[in-house]
Structures are given as C-alpha cells and as structure tokens.
Chains A and B, each alone.
Chain A
Amino acid sequence: MKLQKATLFALFSVLELARDPGRQMSAGEIAEIYGISVNHLAKVLRVLGRAGLVEAVRGVGGGYRFCGNAKRISLYDVIDLFGDIVTDASEIPGPAGTTEIAQALGRVLREVDEIAVATLKSITLATLLKSRRWHEERRLEERHTAVSQ
C-alpha cells in the first residue's frame, strides 16, 4: 500500500503531537523532524484541525496541539480523511472488467484491500505509539540474549 504525501504527513503530525498531548509544536518544527515541505504540511494541519484531531494554539509559543482521544482514533480514521483508501479500486475498469478473468483478479485484489483496511482500523494512535516501546524492548532483549550466549 502506498499512501499519498498528504496522508503520510497527516500521520506524522498526528502521531508526533499525540506522543505528548500537552506539547505544542509549530508546522515548521514538525516539518523539520520529518524533512518535509512546511507549506504542504500547513495545509494538512488545517484538515486535521477541521476534523478535530489537532487544534491551533495562537500567541507566543503557539502551534498545534493534539486534542483527540489517542486510544479511540485509528490509523484508518486519519487516512480516511484524505480519501486515500478506495475500497472499490479492485474493480477493473473498462470492458475488461466484465470478463471472468478480470473479475477473478478483482476478488483477489479486494481480499488484499479488506485485510489492509481491517489492519488500519484495528491500530489506534496509542497502540502505534506503544509499539515503538515494544519494538525497542524486544530489540534490547534479543541483544541481551545474544551477548549472554
């Protein structure tokens, strides 16, 4: 699965801000961490603001702050804001789409889509943020095991 730039930037922003909901970050600070266009990111943040996932904080030290529920918002919820998941993309267009072969291929592609959607719907922002810690713990455990052998 390949996500559009805007969708990826939205995930970066939401996750970066949700790491510490009390923290405010400017679009420039987020853009610098991920090496992405600040102008493009500003547009993405406006979409996230309208969706109620982040809020703009004005004044000195202003920026954006996460204001959603990280335990309830899934990766799918964020991606869906940008229309990046098209579940009927497996339909093969044109006259070929009516052939038995194209329809059989479409069923396989639909299965792949459904698994991808189910996966994205089941991973909340909080779970994804926790998964960094699990990954690090497992890496350290593996290293410890390798050293002690």
Chain B
Amino acid sequence: MPQPSPSPPQPPNQALHGLAIRDARAEDMGAVEEIDARITGLAKHDYWRHAFTRYGGRADRWFLVAEHAGRVIGFIVGEQRAWEFGSPPCGWIFAIGVAPDRRLGGIGSRLFEAIVARMGAAGLETLRTMLARDDTLNMAFFRSQGMMGGPFIQLEMPLPGALPQPRREQGQPEPPLQPEKGREGP
C-alpha cells in the first residue's frame, strides 16, 4: 500500500452543527495566532495584528473565521488583486488554517466556500493562490475544491547582498507585512 501524500488519515470529526463562518474581529486574533502557531510552529503576534488591521472589515479584503461553541477554530484571509502583469481583478487567498484537532470536519471547505461567495458577490470571476511546492496538504485541499494550475508561474531569486532565508514551513503564511519590532535584522 503506498503511503498517501497528504497527512495520514485521522478519525473524521462529526459534521459540526452550529458552526458559524463570520467576519473576524480584533479579539479573534489571539485564537488565529494560536492556530497558526500550532500549524507552523512559529508564533507571529505582530503579523496577525497587522493582518487584521489591513484585512479585517475592509472593502475587497476578507478575513473570516470559523467559530464553534464560542471558540474560533479556523480562519481564511484573502483580497482582491488586479493588473499584476495583465491579470484582470481576481480573488487571492493567502492564508488558511484549521485547528489541527478539528480537521476533517469540513471546516476548511466551509471557510473556502464562504470566501468564494464573498468574492463572487464582489464581482470577481477567478480565484488564485500561491503555495510552496512541497505543501502537499494545502495544495491537495485547494485542488479538492476545484482549483487547478493557472496561467501564471511564480519566479524568485535572491536579492543582491541578501542573506539566505530559512525555508518556509508547510502551511506558513506569507512573511510579515512589516518587520516585527526587534526582528528587523537576521
């Protein structure tokens, strides 16, 4: 039997009754940070506060959370991007996370469907995202929702004089929006 590429099977959660998908609030950031830290092994306190300031409750930006029994158990963040190398306005998802103990209960799908509905209501017709090549778990998730390889290719290079950057872990969101205080240097 081949080893499956995504994470090993776990007992599925029951479908969650009373699961609510709603706009994130400032007071949710502690839970969001905790979920992200459990997934990536890296706490990013300032990152999530900045992310909420930039994406929470803004036009053309969506920061949603999944709440069950008074507890935030998942989040998804996206925005509208336009005219990057000729790309007409489209929706972008750049972060998604579900508490590891609540996976396989359809929470990620509910978050995904909710942000897709918001983007569709905003008149967008295409959804994009960018993932690490070895992030099989998230890539399999997005493909299971119907996403496929698109017409753009991501390219990168080290900038002159830059020190080598540590490789990002699976599921880790993009680097901080602004350097965190005291962490400006390598």
Interface size class of A (residues with CB under 8 A): 20 to 34
A77 and B3 contact, CB distance less than 8 A: yes
Residues of chain B within 8 A (CB-CB) of A115 are 133
Closest to B2 in A: A77
A126 at the interface (CB under 8 A from B): yes
Which residue of A73, A77, A80, A127 contacts B143 across the interface (Cβ within 8 Å)?
A127
A72 and B1 contact, CB distance less than 8 A: no
Instruction: Kindly state the separation between the CA atoms of A89 and B43 in the bound complex, as whole angstroms.
Output: 40
A110-130, CB under 8 A of B: which get 1 and which 0? Answer: 000011001101111011001
Q: Which of A68, A72, A131 has the most CB of B within 10 A?
A: A72
Instruction: Kindly state the separation between the CA atoms of A130 and B6 in the bound complex, as whole angstroms.
Output: 18
Q: Which of A68, A121, A122 has the most CB of B within 10 A?
A: A122
A122 and B139 contact, CB distance less than 8 A: yes
B136 at the interface (CB under 8 A from A): yes
List residues 1-45 of chain B with CB under 8 A from any CB of chain A: 1-6, 9
Residues of chain B within 8 A (CB-CB) of A52 are 1
Query: Which secondary structure characterizes the binding site on chain B?
Result: loop
A13 at the interface (CB under 8 A from B): no
Residues of chain A within 8 A (CB-CB) of B6 are 72, 74, 124
Given contacts A124-B140, A127-B140, A127-B143, contact A119 B149 (CB under 8 A): yes
B146 at the interface (CB under 8 A from A): yes
A36 at the interface (CB under 8 A from B): no
List residues 118-150 of chain B with CB under 8 A from any CB of chain A: 133-134, 136, 139-140, 143-144, 146, 148-149
A127 and B136 contact, CB distance less than 8 A: no
Closest to A71 in B: B144
A67-102, CB under 8 A of B: which get 1 and which 0? Answer: 011011110111011000000000000000000000
Given contacts A53-B1, A74-B4, contact A118 B136 (CB under 8 A): yes
Residues of chain A within 8 A (CB-CB) of B146 are 130-131, 134
B72-107, CB under 8 A of A: which get 1 and which 0? Answer: 000000000000000000000000000000000000
Residues of A within 8 A of B (CB): 51-53, 68-69, 71-74, 76-78, 80-81, 114-115, 118-119, 121-124, 126-127, 130-131, 134
* Given A80-B2, A114-B133; 8 other pairs, CB 8 A cutoff: A51-B2, A71-B144, A73-B2, A74-B136, A77-B4, A123-B143, A124-B143, A130-B144
Residues of B within 8 A of A (CB): 1-6, 9, 133-134, 136, 139-140, 143-144, 146, 148-149
26 A–B contacts, CB within 8 A, in A order: A51-B1, A52-B1, A53-B1, A53-B2, A72-B4, A73-B2, A74-B5, A74-B6, A74-B136, A74-B140, A76-B5, A78-B2, A81-B2, A115-B133, A118-B134, A118-B139, A119-B149, A121-B5, A121-B139, A121-B140, A122-B140, A123-B140, A124-B6, A124-B143, A126-B144, A127-B143
